Amino acid sequence: MAELGQLLLGIVLAWAGGELFVRGSVRLAYAWGIAPAIVGLTIAAFATSSPEAAVSAIAAAEGRPTVALGAALGSNIVNLGLILALPLLILGGRESSSRHAHGYLMALISPAIFAAVAYDGELGQVDAAILFAVFAAWVVITAITARGSRSGGPQERPGAAAAVFGLIVGLAVLVAAAHFIVTGATTIAENFAVPPFLIGATIVALGTSVPEIATVIIATVRGHQDVGVSALWGSNVFNTLFVIPIAAAIHPMADIWAMSLPALIVGFFVVLITWPYGAARLGRGRAILLLAAYGAYVWSAAEGFL
């Protein structure tokens, strides 16, 4: 019963934290006079992915950089193949927009950039510097784009300080929610003799991604789907061009090409499915494709694990 209580508490906290986080993101966009999707693509994406950055740095410092590599590339697939797909499947979507498609394009090409750098099977400090440079250039371009962006928000703009406070509190609540969900759900699954890999690929993957999934669901419910989708695109860029280089800079990686290629291919495919151009609807049809891609990834990983 204690495990069930932890799980339910985590779900309640996830909803509350997601509400605060999305409201803070939208209010910050209005305070700065830019489109909410820009905040989602940058600040929201980086904030929700900061736990992955910390975990990767710790893993590399402990001499396990490939753990960070697998976690980052796997998170990219979970972001779109599961976290975006579930809200779309349950809540539906709306017409996609190419207004902030540079975030989509960067999420699409970042696996190719990583593949070009890691093709020789090694990822060292020079490679990390190249990826960092690409990431920095993208941030600068996004900032320049934001300067010319207009949010279309209210004439009376809220204060940026209050918006940032809401973001921080919301993220803190989301992190607490993730802890309770992972602890409670994992214990329940173990009691039913669920295999450890399956627990990791589903419950733990969802639990550690609570900030992202809560952001997407709340944003969709509140009519700010662009914030949620942009945050996931930005998170994928952040994972590939910032989180992985952190690990490589601390501890160089070797013999990574074979282990990276399947995740890079699936990661590219799930981004491709979220194509934002034209009048195509980002709804349940694409959700099914995303879930199928995620299921194929989990199945192939399980086969390799066994």
For residue 281, what are the β-bridge partners? 95
CB atoms within 10 A of CB 200: 16
| pLDDT(282) > 80 | no
Q: How confident is the model at residue 268 (pLDDT cuts 50, 70, 90)?
A: very high
User: Which of 237 and 74 is assigned the larger pLDDT?
Assistant: 237
- Alpha-carbon torsion angle 84, 274, 152, 169, nearest 10: 30
How much is the mean pLDDT over the chain? 77
Specify the CATH number for the domain of residue 278: 1.20.1420.30
Q: Which domain holds residue 53?
A: 2-305
Number of domains the chain contains:
1
156 SS3 class: coil
Q: What is the pLDDT of residue 299?
A: 80
pTM value surpassing 0.85: no
Of the chain, the percentage scoring pLDDT greater than 90 comes to: 14
Angle of CA points 229, 172, 8, to nearest 5°: 85
Minimal CA–CA distance to 185: which of 18, 7, 27?
7
Q: What is the pLDDT of residue 203?
A: 62
| pLDDT(113) > 90 | yes
The CA distance from 144 to 116, in Å, is 27
| pLDDT(59) > 80 | no
pLDDT for 218-241, tens place per residue?
777 776 666 778 888 888 998 899
> What is the Cβ-side half-sphere exposure of residue 250, based on CA atoms within 13 angstroms?
21
pLDDT for 135-156, tens place per residue?
999 888 887 776 655 545 544 4
User: How many residues does the structure list for the chain?
Assistant: 306
Q: What is the pLDDT of residue 290?
A: 93
Question: What is the arithmetic mean of pLDDT over 238-257?
Answer: 89
